[in-house]
Each structure stands twice: as C-alpha cells, then as structure tokens.
C-alpha cells in the first residue's frame, strides 16, 4: 500500500504558540520549557512559521488542523459540527446539516457556563430526549454525545434544510460571562434554531434533571445552544492527494472526524484524555508502534490548549515538557533508525495565555529528517520562527513541503 519507504511523524501540541510572558522572564512558553528533543529537531533541520487560519474564518482547531493536514480551509471548511459528526460515525448525505447542540447555563441573558457546569452524559441524554419528544420534527435528530457536547442533525431528504452559508451562529465558549443578547443565530434558518433554543428554556426549567442539579448545588442546564452548523465537507482522500497513508492519535473528536474524512486510520490510546492529565507516554508508544503500519503518523495533544484556556502558564510549560520527553523524543529516536524519515512539530493555532482563547496568527514549526538541510537555528520556539525566512502564508501548503520538500 505504501508508496515508498519514507516514514513521517507529525506532533501537534495544540495551541502551544504564545507570547512572551512576564512570569517567564519575558520568554514564551516554548522558550521557557525544557524541550531538548524539539530543539534537536530545530538544530538538525529547519524552523519556520505557518498561518493556518485565514482571517475570514474562525480561529480554532477545526480550521487550523484542516490546514495543518494539508487542506485549504477557504475551500473546504463548512463548519465544526460536520467534523464531529464524522468522528462519531454519523453519515451525512449531501442535503443534511450537522449542528452543535451544547447544553449551557444562561442566567439573566449572560452565558454562565458553556458546559452547563460540566453536565454528565446521562443528564444530558435525558434533557435531549425530552426536547426531541416535544419538538417532534422528523427532519431533526438529536444525537447525545459526551457531557455537554451533543449534535443536532437536520435530515434534508424530505424537506430541504433552511440553512445557508450566511447562517451565523456564535460558539458559546466565546461568550463566557458575556451577554448573549446579540449572539443568537441570525440569517437563513435562524428562526428554526432560535425556536428550538427558546423551546428548550421552557422545557428544561423544571425538568427533574435540573431540580436535582439545583439541590446538589450545581448550575442547571437552562437551554440548548446551537452553533457550528455545516454540511459534510468534500475532502479528497489524503492518499489520493498526497500519495501516502496516514494514522491519527488524538483524544479530541474534531481531529478524529478530520482523520475519518481524509481516510486516515484512527488509533485509540487508553489514557488519552484530551486534558493535562493525559497519558503522554502511552501516546508516544502508540505513535512509535504505528510507524510500522503507515506512512504518516500524527499525534495531537490537547493539553497545551487546555492549559491556555485556563490561563495556567505553569501547566502549559509542563505539558510542553511532557510532550517533548514522552512523544517527540521517542518518535525522533525511532525515526532516526529508519532509512528515510521526516518529522514535523507544529501547533495548529496560537492560544495566548493572556486572552485564554484561540487566536489568528502564525505558528512556529520545525522539520528535520532526510533531505532537510540545517538552517542554523538551534531552538524551536515562537521567537526563532518569527524571524525565519521559511514562512507559509497559507498553512495548508506546509504539508506538501513536509512530504516532498517542494512547493516553497
């Protein structure tokens, strides 16, 4: 199956790109963290920067990882929900739409919690079942997920979906502690979405699940918040585009979905949590093992992004050190024993500790391996990358460069 013997590895420390920190004596987290393996890759190869999120698209993992995997998001990004649907094995026909259906807590028109206080999967399921029964629309299918992360599928076979490219919705995590008044769905199909959201308010108010949550001192799930809508993106298989097979290791549905849509194998690693307590070493071992069966092995780690969302500089530095020691180092070591290999380290987008949320802007990358001539840089970090001559204004073009050292 494999087109050649060259082996490739990609490590994605999600959202690790950042600004200099006062608490780190003016260093960025990547500069401050002890990352000898990443620095070795920089010293052996090249450091550059890539812009994975075009200005017109939302800054976040969905768009940024689509770029990083070699697909132009301006051409292919349709929304976040269809990627998560793919992760769950939900087939979308051409006329279907997937919509994210968070359970949230809104109080006096302010978004108190975009997770409904980390509502349990079971509670979430009960609320969605009640809503689904009340709505009684055969085109609408509520799909419970994990905790607050659910999906609503609009099946368009009987009556065409009312949504369009101009339908606007807002991610609830962008509204934390802010007024939601001006951020309800707008544009085509927004009547339906707003109607569902307000229907849930009345239905959930005295639902037994919420009565119990209040008794336990937890925030109630006041309503569903609908966002991230889109149709199935038309992504060519990676093997067809790039002539290599791939495998993805991640704990995050977005990445699983992207992998599924581009025809990559997904490797589930027990202990991979998508949080700062993830089992880094297990991911590293799984990645090394996967090199035997595929051409491109990609390891995505969410912990750096989570630490950023919490504004926790120490946790971010520690997560980088764990990634370096338990994932990058063993992978680089294993690859170095191959006849031909290349390794790429790159986050998807910046998540500055200052703002605690995803941002636009370039991310630093390092590449080493067969055919890569050292550029004289000694360390992998944001500051080195910022002055590098190797820059990709369209981040999706980096994949071709990484695989073939062409296109630049």
- The least CB distance from residue 12 to Zn ion, in Å, is 8
* Least CB distance to Zn ion at residue 116 (A): 22
- Cβ-based nearer residue to Zn ion, 80 or 218: 80
Query: Using CB under 5 A, which residues numbered 298 to 337 contact Zn ion?
Result: 305
Q: Is 61 in the site for Zn ion (CB under 5 A)?
A: yes
For residue 105, state whether it binds Zn ion (rule: CB under 5 A).
no
Phi-psi region of 376 (alpha: psi -120 to 50; beta: other; left: phi over 0): left
Task: Give residues 336-355 in contact with Zn ion (rule: CB under 5 A).
Answer: 348
- Quick check: 74 and 395 in contact, CB under 8 A? no
Of 9-17, 32-40, 285-293, 369-377, which part binds Zn ion (CB under 5 A)?
A: 9-17
The closest of 21, 88, 4, 89 to 381, measured between CA atoms, is: 21
183 belongs to the binding site for Zn ion (CB under 5 A): no
Q: CB-wise, 348 or 382, nearer to Zn ion?
A: 348
Q: Around 253, how many Cα atoms within 13 Å sit in the side-chain half-sphere?
A: 18
**Which residues are bridge partners to 27 per DSSP?**
21
Q: Determine contact, residues 390/375, Cβ cutoff 8 Å.
A: yes
Based on CB atoms, which residue is closest to Zn ion, 156 or 352?
352
Q: Which residues are registered as beta bridge partners of 97?
A: 154
DSSP calls for 347-405:
-SSB--TTTTS---S-EEEEEEETTPPP-S----SHHHHHT-S-EESSGGGHHHHHHHS
Separation between Cα atoms, residue 19 and residue 33, nearest integer Å: 13
Q: Please choose, out of 6-14, 134-142, 144-152, 256-264, the segment that lies near Zn ion by the rule CB under 5 A.
A: 6-14
Angle between helices 36-44 and 329-336 (to 10 degrees): 40
348-407 positions binding Zn ion, by CB under 5 A: 348
Sign of CA dihedral 231, 118, 172, 191: positive
- Contact window for Zn ion (CB under 5 A) among 53-61, 176-184, 231-239, 310-318: 53-61
Q: Which residue is nearest to Zn ion (CB)?
A: 61
Among 91, 107, 202, smallest CA distance to 151 is for: 91
* Closer CB to Zn ion, 324 or 348, in the complex: 348
- Return the residue matching tokens 């000694």: 378
d(Cα 206, Cα 99) in Å, to the nearest integer?
Answer: 25
Which of 10, 11, 14, 105 binds Zn ion (CB under 5 A)? It is 14
Give the nearer residue to Zn ion in terms of CB position, either 218 or 358.
358
Nearer to Zn ion, 43 or 64 (CB): 64
d(CA 10, CA 343): 6
Q: Looking at beta carbons only, is 123 or 305 nearer to Zn ion?
A: 305
Stretch in the footprint of Zn ion (CB under 5 A) among 14-22, 194-202, 240-248, 282-290 = 14-22
Candidates 12-20, 87-95, 258-266, 363-371: pick the segment binding Zn ion (CB under 5 A): 12-20
In the complex with Zn ion, the residue whose CB is nearer, 207 or 283, is 283
Choose one: 56-64, 164-172, 256-264, 398-406; the region binding Zn ion (CB under 5 A): 56-64
**Interacting residue ranges for Zn ion, rule: CB under 5 A:** 14-15, 61, 305, 348
């Amino acid at each position: 199956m494999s087109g050649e013997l060259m082996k490739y590895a990609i490590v994605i420390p999600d959202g690790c790109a950042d600004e200099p920190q006062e608490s780190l004596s003016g260093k960025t987290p990547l500069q401050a963290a002890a990352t000898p393996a990443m620095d070795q890759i920089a010293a052996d190869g090249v450091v550059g920067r890539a812009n994975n999120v075009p200005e017109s698209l939302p800054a976040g993992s969905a768009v940024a990882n689509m770029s990083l995997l070699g697909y132009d998001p301006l051409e292919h990004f349709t929304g976040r929900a269809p990627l998560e649907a793919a992760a769950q094995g939900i087939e979308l026909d051409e006329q279907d739409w997937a919509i994210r259906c968070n359970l949230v807590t809104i109080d006096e028109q302010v978004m108190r919690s975009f997770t409904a206080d980390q509502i349990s999967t079971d509670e979430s399921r009960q609320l969605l079942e009640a809503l689904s029964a009340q709505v009684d629309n055969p085109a609408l299918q509520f799909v419970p997920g994990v905790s607050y992360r659910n999906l609503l599928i609009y099946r368009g076979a009987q009556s065409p979906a009312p949504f369009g490219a101009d339908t606007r919705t807002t991610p609830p995590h962008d509204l934390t502690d802010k007024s939601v008044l001006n951020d309800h769905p707008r544009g085509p199909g927004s009547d339906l979405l707003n109607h569902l959201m307000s229907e849930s308010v009345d239905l959930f108010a005295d639902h037994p699940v919420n009565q119990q949550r209040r008794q336990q001192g937890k925030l109630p799930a006041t309503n569903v918040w609908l966002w991230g809508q889109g149709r199935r993106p038309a992504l060519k298989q990676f093997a067809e585009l790039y002539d290599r097979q791939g495998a993805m290791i991640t704990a995050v549905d977005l990445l699983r979905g992207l992998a599924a849509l581009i025809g990559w194998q997904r490797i589930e690693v027990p202990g991979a949590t998508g949080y700062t307590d993830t089992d880094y070493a297990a991911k590293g071992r799984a990645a090394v093992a996967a090199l035997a069966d595929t051409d491109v092995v990609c390891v995505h780690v969410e912990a750096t992004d989570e630490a950023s969302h919490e504004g926790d500089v120490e946790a971010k530095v520690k997560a980088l050190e764990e990634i370096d020691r338990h994932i990058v180092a063993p992978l680089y070591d294993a690859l170095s024993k191959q006849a031909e290999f290349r390794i790429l380290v790159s986050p998807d987008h910046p998540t500055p500790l200052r703002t605690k949320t995803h941002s636009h802007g370039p991310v630093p990358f390092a590449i080493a391996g067969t055919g890569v001539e050292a550029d004289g840089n000694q360390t992998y970090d944001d500051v080195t990358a910022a002055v590098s001559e190797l820059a990709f204004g369209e981040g999706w073009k980096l994949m071709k460069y990484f695989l073939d050292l062409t296109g630049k």
